[in-house]
Amino acid sequence: MVFLDIEINETVIIPPSELNPSSLLLRKAIILRLLNYISRKKASEEHGYYVAVRTLNTVGDGEVNGLTGDVHFPVSFNCATTKPYKGEILIGTIDRVRRQGIFLISGPIQNIFLSEKTMKDYQFNNIEEPVFVSANGQSKFEKGGNVRFRILGVKWIESDREFQVLGTIAGDFLGPV
């Protein structure tokens, strides 16, 4: 998984109750607002998943809103992000096993699908619990197992603010870990 360090410019709103003459407490309030901001925003098509606020670069002069008393601070900060790319090799944890394939989770990516059509040497078995078993019986895909896979395609879903990923285990050194 590739991590990127991007700079973001945003306006942070601090209510009067959180204002304090100490610049340390103001920085803390701003950082807490930025952490809340990236957790709500979750991801963007351009930058990928927002992982962490790395540095608070600048805090501009605040402007007071005359109606509410809130202070609006323009800030610049660096944020660590990660974005899935076609051809990238990742390791995911099996979340669900269905006849059509398996669903994986890898880091912040919650929607990864490996189709049964890309698992040619595996057959679906639903005797006790759903599982894909290799023809020789030596390996299997079951819930909670880990899989090394290659990304075939990535699609951004704006309504969910996340990526859908299609993967495959076709290739050398890919499959159950």
pLDDT one-digit tens code per residue, 102-136: 999 999 999 999 999 988 889 999 888 999 999 88
Distance (Å, whole) CA 155 – CA 12 = 31
Distance (Å, whole) CA 5 – CA 53 = 10
Q: pTM for the complete prediction?
A: 0.83
Give the model's pLDDT for residue 74.
95
CATH 2.40.50.140 assigned to domain 88-176? The reply is: yes
Give the model's pLDDT for residue 137.
84
Which helix H or strand E contains 25, and what residues bound it? helix 23-41
Q: What is the mean pLDDT of the chain?
A: 91
121 vs 147 pLDDT, higher one: 147
Give the model's pLDDT for residue 23.
62
What three-state secondary structure class fits 30?
helix
Can you identify the CATH homologous superfamily of domain 3-82?
Answer: RNA polymerase Rpb7-like, N-terminal domain (3.30.1490.120)
Mind listing the pLDDT tens digit for each residue in 63-108? 998 888 899 999 999 999 999 999 999 999 999 999 999 999 999 9
Mind listing the pLDDT tens digit for each residue in 23-77? 667 888 888 889 998 889 899 999 999 999 999 999 999 899 888 889 999 999 9
- What are the sequence ranges of the domains in the chain? 3-82, 88-176
139 vs 21 pLDDT, higher one: 139
**Residue 171, pLDDT above cutoff 80:** yes
Give the model's pLDDT for residue 54.
92
**Residue 151, pLDDT above cutoff 80:** yes
Which helix H or strand E contains 150, and what residues bound it? strand 146-157
Distance (Å, whole) CA 168 – CA 112 = 10
20 vs 111 pLDDT, higher one: 111
